[in-house]
Amino acid sequence: MSPAPADGDEARRFAAAVFRAQLAEAFRRPTPMTWGLLLALTLIAAAQGAADHWLGASGLDRLVFAGALIPDKVLQGEWWRPLTGPMLHSTWSHLLMNLVGIGLIGRQIEAAYGSAGFAVLWLAATLAGALGTLLAGHAISVGASGGVFGLVSALVILGARLWPRLQARLRVSLVLVPAALLLLLLGVGELAELVQPSRLDRAAHAGGALGGMLAGGWLPLRLRDADGANLVAAPSPTTRRLVRWLALAGIFASLLAFAEFARRGQDAPRMPPVVAQVFATEIGPIKLPASQPRGVLREGRCEGERVSVDWAIGLGHRLCSPLPLGGLLLVGRRDKLLTLDAGDHEAMRDALRQGRFVRRERDVLLHPIGRDHLYVVLGNDALLPTYAEALAALLPVDATVVEATLPATPAATSSPMADAAPVPATQLATTPTGATP
């Protein structure tokens, strides 16, 4: 018998152990681009927090209104939003989750692909995530989650490219664990959406993961040990120059986007005053927009611009008026807007007790008017606190007339809201939680 096979196995194990030690050294190399990204996200969030420009009860105003990823605005030519939206966040906790993901994975990715490669990969993932948001038609999206998902998928691709030279433990940590994490996060998001619809931008997560995977497979590896020696075949000078130019072009485009974002942010008024100033004309107990188009809701669309309020209300039509960022204000008889089930009556009582618009269910606010009518606001769930605050000026002064007409035991049935499915009874929440990626 020849000892060659045993010697060959031993040699392979030794080579894998040496490569593992070299890889550990490579992952400890400086990663300035990752730290720069973490710093930039933190500074932008600090600017949001200092000015109270979060997606919260104070509403979407200058910073978010000017820079968030809003598909309708992008289609109107506001090109900078796919670059600025991923750098804004809805809350500190939203930011913290993304910072942790970038800190844990970004340094390994930058060590493997180089600083220029990391910049290209991050931009590819965030832009792919933004494309997912645009294709899915989300009303608004902020947050770096798409980029984080791109980093995770790039780590999987990195491990797959190094697979033949990895020991079993490294195969698990570089490929199997991040792949399982990626599938788990995407799967949990889908499952959670089925159980309880949320504001998570799952399309951005999936798009970012796909963008990171493609970029991670195309970009050349730049793994080097402590002495600067390449652990894998070095890319050609042409490829290195191409990656550098792509990184510089992406960074330059981002700087231009933020310059435009800053300029528009100075000009953009706070949303609540914009909405509140619109609602200035009072017709009987109902206040309706004076300066915005006012139409009648037909088959889910608002038709008309200066519809007569007396005519519309008298004939039982549902008046409608557009709100900023895709929202819609409906006014009409309660039995024409709601199913009038137990949840509807409970929500109307809450609105009267609190003296404010109340969240009826996801994407829906309501408040009674007079004896028989109702305000209903339809809009993205993230915007409901803003609408509730801005439209507070619409509330009728005398709510006792309404309260007297609410039955103690609600009757059932009527026509559905906005020509859609009837509104189910759901648990009310005056301030929605969570964030967009």
Q: What are the pLDDT digits (tens) for 80-110?
A: 999 999 998 877 888 999 999 999 899 989 9
- Is pLDDT above 70 for 127? yes
* pLDDT confidence of residue 435: 35
* pLDDT confidence of residue 195: 45
Q: Residue 33 maps to which CATH number?
A: 1.20.1540.10
Size (the chain), residues: 437
Which has more pLDDT, 320 or 420? 320
Instruction: State the pLDDT confidence band at 398, using cuts at 50, 70 and 90.
Output: low
Tokens standing for residue 57: 């009860």
The burial class, CB within 10 Å (0-12 / 13-18 / 19+), for 270 is middle
Q: What percent of the chain has pLDDT over 90?
A: 22
Picking from 268, 285, 307, the residue at the C-terminal end of a domain is 268
Please give the Cα distance from 182 to 171 (Å, whole number). 16
As a whole number, mean pLDDT of residues 227-232 equals 72
Q: Is 152 left (phi over 0), alpha (psi -120 to 50) or beta?
A: alpha
Please give the Cα distance from 269 to 428 (Å, whole number). 30
* pLDDT confidence of residue 279: 60
Strand partners, 230: 224
Q: For residue range 108-122, what is the model confidence (pLDDT) as tens digits?
A: 899 989 999 999 999
Which has more pLDDT, 192 or 344? 344
- Is pLDDT above 70 for 421? no
The reply to whether 427 falls in a domain is no
The reply to whether 13 falls in a domain is yes
Q: Do 225 and 291 share a structural domain?
A: no
* pLDDT confidence of residue 319: 86
0.85 surpassed by pTM: no
Q: Do 173 and 195 share a structural domain?
A: yes
Q: What is the DSSP string of 291-360?
A: SS-BEEEETTEEE-SB--HHHHHHTT--EEEE-GGG-EEEEEEHHHH----HHHHHHHHHHHHHTS-EEE
- Is pLDDT above 90 for 149? yes
Tokens standing for residue 185: 């996060």
Tokens standing for residue 401: 């007339």
User: Quick check: helix, strand or coil at residue 91?
Assistant: coil
The reply to whether 110 falls in a domain is yes
b/e sequence 181-214, b meaning 16+ C-beta within 10 Å: ebeebeeebeeeeeeeebbbbbbbbbbbbbbbbb
Strand partners, 427: none
- Is pLDDT above 90 for 242? yes
* pLDDT confidence of residue 419: 37
Instruction: State the pLDDT confidence band at 323, using cuts at 50, 70 and 90.
Output: confident
Q: What percent of the chain has pLDDT over 70?
A: 72
Average pLDDT, the chain: 76
Q: Do 317 and 198 share a structural domain?
A: no
Q: For residue range 157-209, what is the model confidence (pLDDT) as tens digits?
A: 998 898 888 777 878 888 888 888 888 877 765 555 544 445 677 889 999 99
* pLDDT confidence of residue 413: 36
Q: Do 251 and 123 share a structural domain?
A: yes
The reply to whether 428 falls in a domain is no
Picking from 214, 242, 268, the residue at the C-terminal end of a domain is 268
Q: Do 289 and 241 share a structural domain?
A: no
Q: For residue range 281-317, what is the model confidence (pLDDT) as tens digits?
A: 566 666 766 666 678 888 777 887 777 777 777 777 8
Q: Do 288 and 326 share a structural domain?
A: yes
Tokens standing for residue 3: 């000892």
As a whole number, mean pLDDT of residues 230-255 equals 89
Please give the Cα distance from 421 to 335 (Å, whole number). 14
Give whole-number Cα distances, 325 to 289, 303, 330, 347, in Å.
Answer: 16, 18, 16, 25
The reply to whether 57 falls in a domain is yes
- Is pLDDT above 80 for 44? yes
Q: What is the DSSP string of 122-169?
A: HHHHHHHHHHHHHHHT-S-B-SSHHHHHHHHHHHHHHHHHHGGG--HH
Q: What is the DSSP string of 362-410?
A: TTEEEEEETTTEEEEEE--GGGHHHHHHHGGGGS-S--HHHHHHS-SS-
Q: Do 193 and 294 share a structural domain?
A: no
How many other C-beta atoms lie within 10 A of the C-beta of residue 344? 26
Q: Which domain holds residue 71?
A: 4-268
Q: Do 84 and 229 share a structural domain?
A: yes
Please enumerate in sequence order all residues whose Cβ is within 8 A of that of 301, keeping only pairs 6 or more positions apart, or say none.
Answer: none
Angle at 209 between CA 206 and CA 210, to 5 degrees: 85
Q: Are strands 286-288 and 281-283 parallel, antiparallel or unpaired?
A: antiparallel
Q: Do 276 and 264 share a structural domain?
A: no
The reply to whether 434 falls in a domain is no
Picking from 220, 244, 268, the residue at the C-terminal end of a domain is 268
Q: Do 332 and 201 share a structural domain?
A: no
Number of domains making up the chain: 2
The reply to whether 425 falls in a domain is no
The reply to whether 348 falls in a domain is yes
Which has more pLDDT, 66 or 194? 66
Give whole-number Cα distances, 280 to 273, 275, 286, 292, in Å.
Answer: 12, 10, 11, 11
Q: Are 416 and 362 in contact (CB under 8 A)?
A: no
Q: Do 277 and 262 share a structural domain?
A: no
* pLDDT confidence of residue 251: 93
Q: Do 324 and 201 share a structural domain?
A: no
